């Protein structure tokens, strides 16, 4: 299986599959691969239990995605919050982990065990601290806030990515609220890739809708 860094050089998108379950994992994974995606992330902790433990459905889905898609795409774990998560995920073959936050202890443990870790950051100070702890790249989160009426507010606009890249010579992955109309702006600002969540996948979305959204994202960043 290619690494996350290798996968985003082919197509600079990471499909975040929050809430996926084992019964749909194979079809969702193959749909994304057929649309051109080369990287997928399954968040392994959820708000169902207050993010207290690794989610059994997420772990099972990771196993299925790795079996069905690893020849074509990187499969990694997201919402990796505790040091013990790293070894547990390595046991099922996961070598790329992401988080919405920066926890120096988790980053250090990942580096010790040889797992590439991408923590969430917002500021230059956080970014530099994360890199010093051993982060392989940085996730800028959250970027776009979406209101119920469809309006958006930038928490971290594309221009901020350009500033962050100038201070931190590391791959930056903007995340949160980014759709296919906005993704090219972040790429043009220097983002190595884009984390795509609910604008691409959500539980219960039809495979036809997923495929259509996936193709729009791929066309947007390749156009």
pLDDT in tens, 47-58: 999 999 999 999
Distance CA 199, CA 143 (A): 13
| pLDDT attached to residue 135 | 98
Instruction: Provide DSSP, 157-220.
Output: -HHHHHHHHHH--S-EEEBSS--TTTHHHHHHTT-S-EEE-TTT--TT--HHHHHHHHHHHHHH
- Is 122 tagged catalytic? no
Which one of the listed residues 41, 68, 122, 199 is annotated catalytic? 41
Q: Which strands, in side-by-side order, build the sheet including 116-118?
A: 116-118, 96-98, 74-78, 39-43, 13-16, 194-196
Which one of the listed residues 68, 122, 139, 199 is annotated catalytic? 139
pLDDT in tens, 135-155: 999 999 999 999 888 899 999
| pLDDT attached to residue 172 | 98
Return the DSSP state at 47: G
- Is 208 tagged catalytic? no
| pLDDT attached to residue 169 | 86
Low-confidence ranges of the chain (pLDDT < 70): 223
Q: Which domains does the chain have, with CATH numbers?
A: 4-222 (3.20.20.70)
| pLDDT attached to residue 51 | 96
């Amino acid at each position: 299986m290619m690494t996350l860094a290798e996968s985003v050089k082919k197509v600079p998108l990471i499909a975040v599959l929050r809430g996926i379950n084992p019964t749909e994992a194979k079809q969702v994974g193959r749909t994304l691969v057929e649309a051109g995606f080369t990287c997928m992330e399954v968040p392994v902790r959820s708000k169902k239990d207050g993010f207290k433990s690794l989610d059994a459905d997420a772990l099972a889905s990771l196993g299925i995605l790795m079996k069905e898609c690893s020849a074509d795409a990187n499969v990694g774990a997201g919402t990796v919050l505790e040091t013990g998560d790293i070894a547990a995920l390595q046991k099922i073959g996961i070598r790329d982990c992401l988080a919405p936050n920066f926890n120096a202890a988790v980053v250090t443990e990942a580096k010790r065990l040889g797992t590439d870790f991408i923590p969430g950051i917002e500021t230059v100070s956080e970014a530099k601290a994360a890199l010093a702890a051993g982060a392989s790249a940085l996730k800028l989160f959250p970027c776009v806030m979406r209101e119920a009426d469809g309006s958006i507010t930038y928490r971290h606009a594309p221009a901020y990515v350009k500033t962050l890249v100038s201070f931190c010579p590391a791959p930056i992955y903007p995340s949160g609220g980014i759709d296919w109309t906005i993704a090219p702006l972040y790429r043009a600002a220097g983002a190595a890739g884009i984390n795509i969540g609910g604008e691409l996948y959500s539980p219960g979305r039809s495979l036809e809708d997923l495929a259509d959204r996936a193709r729009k994202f791929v066309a947007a960043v390749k156009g």
